[in-house]
Structure 1
Amino acid sequence: MPLRLPPLPALRFFEAAGRLQSFKLAAAELNVTPSAVSHGIVGLEQALGVELFVREPRGISLTATGADYLSYVSEAFSLIAIGTQRLPNHRADRPIALSCAPTFAALWLLPRLAGFRARWPNVSVSVDTSHRQVGFPVDGFDFAIRMSRAPVAGMAWTRLFGERFVPVCSPAYRQTLLDEHGAASLQHATLIHVNAASEDWQAWLDATGADGVDVSGGLRVDTIQLAFEAASMGLGVALGRKPLVDGALASGALVEACAGTIASTTAYWLVSAENAESAIRRPELADFKRWLADSAAQFDSQAAA
């Protein structure tokens, strides 16, 4: 007897919505409307005779049954993706797909990609900087670069390097921070916050013990690069993240606002599916992973010197 399967489009809606915990984000990822995702999942629930999601005013969450079912559906899609990638002619012109934050891509990765292209001129690389979670290999990505305190089980993690935090601002703005003795203070500064950052001003204040600095106000932006640009325009003081801020400091667009450099508790990691390079039989993935790890190690040693 043939296998009786639920509607496959509805399963795709369910996998994306369950992984992203949002009908809206799933719709954006799959290029359909949120209504289509919602109706597709309702139809799936009716076909299965179970409730997969809890609908609440503030969003959705998986039921216990839905969470259990998601693990099977995600694994099934992963197997289909791996099988498709193993087809003889599937990989001929497929670029290496990498997901990373836009500031990391602009300030660290892209300036070094020329070195990779020089060694492997026939290998293409696709860089995606959208702010979304990545599922391996369902979403078609080979690697992601993520900030984390430690590896997470279920994927392959390679540590690249950590960050160091230091307050930065424009040279002109720093003059407004000086007291009558020529010492800089952040007590009356406008702090520039990065909404998506896992560590920001509170981490720096806790580590340095600086007093009298209000972190509740200031300017808020959604990327580190935008924070650096706002600081260079004299809009306030951003928390500089070395090595990403090194170029702006070297050019003089930004200066250290005050003393106090601390090490981040998180680091940049290269993430991929476990055994992705061997399982998919794409030697260029192993080359890229080795090149990126070597570039990061060389950079890290120079920064520490």
Structure 2
Amino acid sequence: MPRRLPPLSSLRLFEAAGRHQSFKLAAAELSVTPSAVSHGIVGLEQSLGVELFIREPRGLSLTPAGADYLTYVSKAFSLLETGTQRLPNQRENRTIAVSCAPTLASRWLLPRLHGFRARWPDINVTVDTSQRLVGFPADGFDFAIRMSRAPTAGTCWTRLFGEQLVPVCSPAYRDSLLDANGTMDLRRATLIHVNPASEDWQAWLDAAHIAGIASSGGLRFDTIQLAFEAASAGLGVALGRRPLVDSDLASGALVEIGPEVICAQTAYWLVSAAGADHRPDLSGFRQWLLSEAEAFEDSASAAVSIP
């Protein structure tokens, strides 16, 4: 039996009116009259047998049933828009939408994007760094880059590369940690922590088999970027995460003080909906990103002293 759904035109009127909480504003957006919006929604309410709006002299508001229904209708239109944009014949203004943590986006992805643009100059790339949970395909993203110990069911996960962990600080702070014999003494250091990090100082100390250092004290920040800036300012020793710290090491703002480089248990993964690379541009982006990740991991593997 075919599904009995309200007319798409009525749902469009309802979605606009519900979003604006106004028949007048909905009419202006859809280039119709407020009367047409009102009559269309009355017809929708009669068809559904449910009152969707409370109409009062001071304004318009959704009923509880209307607010609930608007959530589903809005998602349905969003899916339709996303699906239409992803059709193979939608050649104009093609865009690849990527969700990525801000530090990884600025320090690893952004410096490499020119390589993709050189190969695909007509493809636009949108990078979202809000770190919100991404639903495929409802949120309109093609890919997400996430850090995890293992893939999560329901989406397609491809490993990009792991992080290497090494203590870093400013050159002047490093000199202050040297004892009379010129030996580095981490026990004298202020440790800089990143609160959201799943692997922090205790993980590094355990993997490096270093005892006698209290890992709980020191300074704490909510982003890796702030931790690196604090270390550059001479406030202490941060746990550098390669590749995120590579630009600071290259510029000399930070230096490695070792004694060990540790492989993190977590890794960066490229996440997408199953079959998301059916478009040539999406397939090209995936292959380009995997190639960049492989080249980076090959170059970084020599710096790891503990597997």
Q: TM-score, normalised by structure 2?
A: 0.72
- Secondary structure class of the residue paired with 1:187: helix
Cα 1:162–1:3 shift into 2, 3 Å: same
Q: Residue deviations 1:87-113, cap 9 Å, x none?
A: 577562142111111111111111111
Alignment of 1:176 onto 2:197? no
> For the residues of structure 2 that align with 1:130 and 1:249, how far apart are their CA atoms?
27
> For the residues of structure 2 that align with 1:43 and 1:109, how far apart are their CA atoms?
44
Amino acid at match of 1:43: P
Alignment: residue pair count: 253
> For the residues of structure 2 that align with 1:47 and 1:127, how far apart are their CA atoms?
31
Amino acid at match of 1:304: S
Aligned Cα RMSD in Å?
3.2
Q: Residue deviations 1:175-197, cap 9 Å, x none?
A: 22122222212223211111221
Q: Residue deviations 1:195-252, cap 9 Å, x none?
A: 2212111211221232232232222222212211211110111001122222222222
Aligned match of 2:32: none
Note if contact 1:188-1:213 (Cα within 8 Å) is conserved in structure 2.
no
Note if contact 1:101-1:145 (Cα within 8 Å) is conserved in structure 2.
yes
Aligned match of 2:262: 262
> Unpaired segments of 5 or more residues in structure 1?
13-38, 49-69
Aligned match of 2:146: 146
Alignment of 1:98 onto 2:122? no
Aligned match of 1:33: none
Note if contact 2:162-2:268 (Cα within 8 Å) is conserved in structure 1.
yes
> For the residues of structure 2 that align with 1:97 and 1:82, how far apart are their CA atoms?
11
Shift of 1:297: 0.8
Note if contact 1:77-1:138 (Cα within 8 Å) is conserved in structure 2.
no
Shift of 1:151: 1.2
Aligned match of 1:107: 107
Cα 1:300–1:230 shift into 2, 3 Å: same
> Unpaired segments of 5 or more residues in structure 2?
20-60, 303-307
Runs (4+) off by over 4 Å: 4-9, 44-48, 72-79, 86-91
Note if contact 2:159-2:269 (Cα within 8 Å) is conserved in structure 1.
yes
Aligned match of 1:43: 64
Q: Report 1:26-175 matches (<5 A).
A: 43-44=64-65, 80=80, 83-86=83-86, 92-175=92-175
Which deviates more from structure 2 when the two are superposed, residues 243-252 or residues 141-150? Answer: 243-252
Note if contact 1:78-1:136 (Cα within 8 Å) is conserved in structure 2.
no
> For the residues of structure 1 that align with 2:241 and 2:283, how far apart are their CA atoms?
29
Aligned match of 1:294: 291
Note if contact 1:97-1:126 (Cα within 8 Å) is conserved in structure 2.
yes
Aligned match of 2:214: 214
> For the residues of structure 2 that align with 1:290 and 1:77, how far apart are their CA atoms?
31
Aligned match of 1:59: none
> For the residues of structure 1 that align with 2:196 and 2:75, how far apart are their CA atoms?
29
Q: TM-score, normalised by structure 1?
A: 0.73
Amino acid at match of 2:4: P
State which structure, 1 or 2, has the greater radius of gyration over its C-alpha atoms.
2
Aligned match of 1:187: 187
Q: Residue deviations 1:54-107, cap 9 Å, x none?
A: xxxxxxxxxxxxxxxx9x999968854553334577562142111111111111
Which deviates more from structure 2 when the two are superposed, residues 112-121 or residues 214-223? Answer: 214-223
> For the residues of structure 2 that align with 1:216 and 1:118, how far apart are their CA atoms?
47
Cα 1:75–1:266 shift into 2, 3 Å: farther
Cα 1:248–1:235 shift into 2, 3 Å: same
Q: Residue deviations 1:256-301, cap 9 Å, x none?
A: 22302111011111111110122xxx31111100111011111211
Which deviates more from structure 2 when the two are superposed, residues 159-168 or residues 203-212? Answer: 203-212
Aligned match of 1:304: 301
- Secondary structure class of the residue paired with 1:117: helix
